[in-house]
Structure 1
């Protein structure tokens, strides 16, 4: 599952073509918080050390640092045949330490040979050479992926696959180095945290039946963020760049291998006016330490510790139509504050029992403290109203023209504890005379959240409601939620000549509990409820490779996503009938290199949901509880390809320069409610004469555009050390509510979101004498203004951003 080869599957920089051609050519806290975390972490590490090393799921040898020439194959325009513009210093590899790393695709030239589904890899070279500022930019060139911008910096991405709801990326299972990183992967899989894209070595995305090896949420796709590992030869880099919106970014990385030990430290800092609202500031710091130790030729251990901090003025509230028309990039909510801290650890132990039996045992966990202080709004958007009411996001649909703050304020204070252990085994064997490879394992995970909401409807902005006579009335929520989850999985790959058949099964069992801890006399005080789920998930896939230029694949599997604790057990602790999401997911496709200068992949997909969970109201905000939407259907076509025009014109592969075009396109032909389904809205969300309950069977799902396109053209010259690429990213119209409202409502929360296209460009020049790459990049070069989200009012898309900088390698 791993190799020293660095080929990938990213169409932007031709690494997929490379692969194919290689085949064929502030709140005070009780002091117990941090002590408890330290004790729990230490206990888990002691437990890990007491175990006999269990087995590496991937025989992953660290990738040797690439030479100056081999790096050229991965820059924009590279074809895998030769250098194309080095961007880093040449280093000579030593014998690497085997690194315990769980991959979902890998880096070998035949990484996708037997994967029965669509898979993609975005390489580090693509991220750097295209200067992707956010995960949103990096994922848009992957067919089938919809990414809805929020704050413009990619801090809280909203990622969707094939028309699923993108809100907080809840339908995508997100991992870092093979372990889940969501707030609570079962109970609250929301992406309020996302690691900085700049420290990724590559990004893997898998959408086929192979997802059964990962979970719990495998209804959309599995996203695995691979971070840098200690290099064989000591070295590092320092990068700095900045631009408009008062943006600047610094990134330092250094590491190396000394004998049988590898170490690496990575520090990243950036701050900027947020592209969404330029009168709001955001600052992020990220520090990672990683070490790899070779205990013996059979056993290796990796340990990673990370600290992340966000301090920003980012809030929820969007704009009304009137405010957007007046100034789309400022907000009156200037007293919001988001204070987020995360400490994470990951220990992985590789052990080789025999040449055929290996494993990786992952011990992982994190602690998160999240305080989000926000101003409340009047329901009618008028702060002069005498009977102003506490509200978190909605305004009267038909009349609101302003979303100005009142004298109210509330703080959502959250703590999250997550830890788990997962041994994964890889066994190469023969089954009834057939070559076979089995991947199997089990996992236990514990989750806990301490949720409080403090609100002040009387004192006014800047006044405290803690510790006074009104302290208890300020406590709007005080809940303790817990999850105990167990999973088992098995996948067997059988090889019959040019065919492979891969059946698999996953079993999920988890139990939720919730306790209301508010003071006596409060509704629901002391109530405790729990609920449990058990779900088997079968699947099977197959590939057929008649020759080195074509691989056909097909698969079907049971997709699954658990409901959140807040949906399965309401705040008043009444158990509700909110079921898990279940779907049958089908894929048929082909990967090919029909000509030496051309590579392509095409996939037909269909997703039939027995039940999909969506927002009950049109626009989110207060009262937007989730509900069983019943049956939905998604189907369409994905295509991605790349052509080297210089090779075509010359009639032979040019090893020193490339002139290429690439294309990624998704046609989401159908994404609609197919079962009996009604939309129910409260009076605040209704237009004059609009019924509170209407049938929406046959309506289009929200945030499910029919067409998505990314196309690029680029040039790279290895002799000059230069590469550049110009691209366009486009998305068609989409609905923001389940009633498919066309004309926008005055509050900005309903109406069609018009399609848009933006132009981006990047250029890099490597100067060998000082071992430095200088670069310049531009986003939304035409400075277009467009809407990307209406869930809590209008959010504008990324404005013109121009940045320049340098990366010094040492």
Structure 2
């Protein structure tokens, strides 16, 4: 009996929602995101979408980039077609390397440095290792910060199975002209006995993407363990080694793009990243304590040692550094080394009264970051090398938070006020000059969420929260009028679930941003563009018609008005933000075969604050086109016998070979960055 109940709880333990209590019942923890499954969305007091495992594996997704674009309000600039370096923006909040999205893996910060380097210039996740994705666009700021203006994206790893299981899978993506990308994944794990569970994963992605100079090799190894210390206590452990190399094809001039969008004129551009990541999560059920009906103590520890480096070819012609039409005569590289660790204890308490039930969550976090940042330049004609920047960052930050969920009217109305305090201390030293600077910042960040279950079918919500984004390493290095960014978020919405087969959501939001920082590709610096306002509507619906067994439909729409509020560009659009987004997808199960079709549309956007309507000669400014992209996949179990399952699938991405581009992506900010064209993906997976 003990083994069965612990095993049943295992997947939820790993996700952080449940622990196994002494009385052999499941006890809800203080993790407000729960286990990140679609059922939890129905009563979440904010905008939220969960991408299920079925949608990930059968929805025609080459990478996590493809999957995330099904979520209203999320926009991806797919630079590589391999998922190595995602460019994720939420509600028009864009920054290089997904710098304005709070990205977690199993609830633990995934970024290189949660305060000083929030951009994902190292993304230690591969598609094959993820079970589902939880995109929380509102209502989580008190517990998950900083950098949560656009919300939180939580990537959930494949859980340790209840019984020992192994998996071998191989997938290949064919881009044409001999450019193929191979993805090999191995997994084995399960419960060894009542008390111990173990899982080992190995994933290699190797080959070429759709353009010249696009060779990639990624190796991702991870081992996780679960120890049920006793019936009240669990310990989850994780260690990961990740290594990546990618040649970067870069942007093209308009003329080169028109001639051949699959070519590359950037032979010196590439990327290397390495990380060793570790974490431990201790969970203790405390039972009843006096007037407290139940309590739980959770302690999370995480850390990593990482380095990453970009090599970039540049022109020495004054004012033409990034002109893609000019040959490179300088190669610049920017090695960075990170040593980061953090710890976060949390106590949750349930207090049940005659008329009012409450849940208190009290927590804190301390993070230490040591970042070495260099910039080196080599002149190709002479091979002379110079260190142009040598910086050291020593950041220490701590936060405390408290929230109190008060449940009224027979628990149909939940009002949750909360407060987060952030202290950020960032110390910078220029090793070349000896000059040092300290930039402390203290901020009180209140939040309030309200959820009301009006009827079993109707759920209403509203939330408001204040969010912080500290000044980033790159902003400081490149100069400009930069400081910490602050924003107020407001949301209200309704969910309607008349039957188990229908779910509808409509939400309104507004983000009032103070001192938003934007990258200016012309001057290669970060500028404070001042106040901005992001407001809009998000609609989403799921429908499984009872009359057509096996049919599942999903559609979403997002309208975004992202506007600069002061300065010379007041009234103009915030760069990179598309006003309209449409997403549609559906799947049909027929005689053991699943047919899936998905599509997404984004309207045009601008790459500069001035909203320059015509592309200039260098491609530094100008509009970016609107685009529709469609993907399709056919999946089928080819063989079944007991617990052994062999699955195969065939997918086509960018079905109609839509021709479109991006602009302003990090190390290649001028010109046109081609988006992936049509590709074919075939794969098989054996579980036994």
After TM superposition, is the score higher than 0.5?
Answer: yes
Secondary structure, in 3 states, of the residue corresponding to 1:629?
strand
| 8 Å contact kept, 1:100–1:301 | no
Distance 1:296 1:712, change over 3 A: same
| 8 Å contact kept, 1:105–1:206 | no
Distance 1:431 1:157, change over 3 A: farther
Residue 559 of structure 1: how far off its partner (Å): 2.1
Query: Given the alignment, which residue of 418, 429, 447 partners 1:504?
Result: 418
Residue 526 of structure 1: how far off its partner (Å): 0.7
Residue 353 of structure 1: how far off its partner (Å): 1.6
Secondary structure, in 3 states, of the residue corresponding to 2:141?
helix
- Give the CA RMSD over aligned residues: 2.7
Residue 108 of structure 1: how far off its partner (Å): 6.4
Partner of 1:479: 391
Query: Given the alignment, which residue of 344, 352, 355 partners 2:277?
Result: 344
What is the rounded CA distance, in whole Å, between the counterparts of 2:8 and 2:149 in structure 1? Answer: 31
Partner of 1:236: 166
| 8 Å contact kept, 1:556–1:585 | yes
Shifted more, 295-304 versus 104-113: the winner is 104-113
| 8 Å contact kept, 2:596–2:633 | yes
Residue 432 of structure 1: how far off its partner (Å): 9.1
The count of corresponding residues between Structure 1 and Structure 2 is: 660
Partner of 2:146: 216
What is the rounded CA distance, in whole Å, between the counterparts of 1:495 and 1:514 in structure 2? Answer: 46
Secondary structure, in 3 states, of the residue corresponding to 1:354?
strand
Task: Answer yes or no: is 1:608 the counterpart of 2:512.
Answer: yes
Partner of 1:205: 135
Partner of 1:673: 564
Map 1:619-634 to 2 at 5 A: 619=521, 623-634=523-534
What TM-score, normalized by structure 2, do the two folds share?
A: 0.91
Query: Given the alignment, which residue of 608, 626, 634 partners 1:755?
Result: 626
Partner of 1:449: 371
Larger RCO (alpha carbons 8 Å, 6+ apart):
1
Query: Given the alignment, which residue of 731, 738, 760 partners 2:609?
Result: 738
What is the rounded CA distance, in whole Å, between the counterparts of 1:635 and 1:558 in structure 2? Answer: 15
Residue 343 of structure 1: how far off its partner (Å): 0.6
What is the rounded CA distance, in whole Å, between the counterparts of 1:255 and 1:459 in structure 2? Answer: 54
Query: Given the alignment, which residue of 586, 590, 596 partners 1:713?
Result: 586
| 8 Å contact kept, 1:509–1:533 | yes
| 8 Å contact kept, 1:149–1:789 | no
Q: Which has the higher helix share?
A: 1
What is the rounded CA distance, in whole Å, between the counterparts of 1:336 and 1:614 in structure 2? Answer: 24
Bigger-Rg structure (1/2): 1
Partner of 1:364: 302
Secondary structure, in 3 states, of the residue corresponding to 2:97?
helix
Map 1:246-325 to 2 at 5 A: 246-259=180-193, 260-275=195-210, 277-314=211-248, 317-325=250-258
Secondary structure, in 3 states, of the residue corresponding to 2:243?
strand
Residue 314 of structure 1: how far off its partner (Å): 1.7
Deviation string for 1:192-250 (max 9, x for gaps)? 12211221122112122222101111111111111123211000211111131311111
Distance 1:323 1:230, change over 3 A: same
What is the rounded CA distance, in whole Å, between the counterparts of 1:534 and 1:181 in structure 2? Answer: 23
| 8 Å contact kept, 1:114–1:500 | no
Task: Answer yes or no: is 1:530 the counterpart of 2:438.
Answer: yes
Deviation string for 1:365-400 (max 9, x for gaps)? 111121222222243xxxxxxxxx697x533xxxxx
| 8 Å contact kept, 2:478–2:524 | no
Residue 510 of structure 1: how far off its partner (Å): 0.9
Residue 252 of structure 1: how far off its partner (Å): 0.7
Distance 1:577 1:741, change over 3 A: closer
Task: Answer yes or no: is 1:553 the counterpart of 2:488.
Answer: no
Deviation string for 1:502-552 (max 9, x for gaps)? 11111100111111112xxxxxx1111111000011011111112211111
| 8 Å contact kept, 1:237–1:253 | yes
What is the rounded CA distance, in whole Å, between the counterparts of 2:493 and 2:579 in structure 1? Answer: 20
Query: Given the alignment, which residue of 461, 471, 486 partners 1:582?
Result: 486
Residue 710 of structure 1: how far off its partner (Å): 1.1
Partner of 1:793: 671
What is the rounded CA distance, in whole Å, between the counterparts of 1:597 and 1:419 in structure 2? Answer: 44
Distance 1:337 1:58, change over 3 A: closer
Distance 1:781 1:609, change over 3 A: same
Q: Which has the higher strand share?
A: 2
What is the rounded CA distance, in whole Å, between the counterparts of 2:313 and 2:358 in structure 1? Answer: 59
What TM-score, normalized by structure 1, do the two folds share?
A: 0.77
What is the rounded CA distance, in whole Å, between the counterparts of 2:486 and 2:274 in structure 1? Answer: 33
| 8 Å contact kept, 1:763–1:777 | yes
Task: Answer yes or no: is 1:376 the counterpart of 2:314.
Answer: yes
What is the rounded CA distance, in whole Å, between the counterparts of 1:57 and 1:493 in structure 2? Answer: 21
Map 1:46-445 to 2 at 5 A: 58-60=16-18, 104-107=33-36, 111-194=40-123, 195-244=125-174, 245-259=179-193, 260-275=195-210, 277-314=211-248, 317-355=250-288, 356-379=294-317, 393-395=321-323, 402-406=325-329, 408-430=330-352, 434-445=356-367
Specify every segment of 5 or more residues in structure 2 that has no aligned partner in the other structure, as ranges: 1-5, 289-293
Distance 1:509 1:731, change over 3 A: same
What is the rounded CA distance, in whole Å, between the counterparts of 2:565 and 2:478 in structure 1? Answer: 30
Secondary structure, in 3 states, of the residue corresponding to 2:258?
helix
| 8 Å contact kept, 2:62–2:681 | no
| 8 Å contact kept, 1:710–1:729 | yes
Residue 448 of structure 1: how far off its partner (Å): 0.9
What is the rounded CA distance, in whole Å, between the counterparts of 1:145 and 1:4 in structure 2? Answer: 34
| 8 Å contact kept, 1:100–1:300 | no
Secondary structure, in 3 states, of the residue corresponding to 2:55?
helix
Deviation string for 1:98-117 (max 9, x for gaps)? 99995624256752354211
Shifted more, 505-514 versus 767-776: the winner is 767-776
| 8 Å contact kept, 1:3–1:60 | no
What is the rounded CA distance, in whole Å, between the counterparts of 1:109 and 1:566 in structure 2? Answer: 37
| 8 Å contact kept, 1:56–1:424 | no
Map 1:760-775 to 2 at 5 A: 760-767=631-638, 768-769=640-641, 771-775=645-649
| 8 Å contact kept, 1:301–1:349 | yes
Secondary structure, in 3 states, of the residue corresponding to 2:656?
coil
Secondary structure, in 3 states, of the residue corresponding to 1:169?
coil
Partner of 1:802: 680
| 8 Å contact kept, 1:287–1:307 | yes
| 8 Å contact kept, 1:7–1:109 | no
| 8 Å contact kept, 1:56–1:361 | no
| 8 Å contact kept, 2:235–2:282 | yes
Secondary structure, in 3 states, of the residue corresponding to 1:405?
coil
| 8 Å contact kept, 1:150–1:789 | no
Task: Answer yes or no: is 1:544 the counterpart of 2:452.
Answer: yes
Secondary structure, in 3 states, of the residue corresponding to 2:482?
coil
Secondary structure, in 3 states, of the residue corresponding to 1:240?
strand
What is the rounded CA distance, in whole Å, between the counterparts of 1:290 and 1:7 in structure 2? Answer: 13
What is the rounded CA distance, in whole Å, between the counterparts of 1:566 and 1:375 in structure 2? Answer: 19
What is the rounded CA distance, in whole Å, between the counterparts of 1:726 and 1:124 in structure 2? Answer: 16
What is the rounded CA distance, in whole Å, between the counterparts of 2:283 and 2:108 in structure 1? Answer: 15
Partner of 1:13: none
Secondary structure, in 3 states, of the residue corresponding to 2:530?
coil
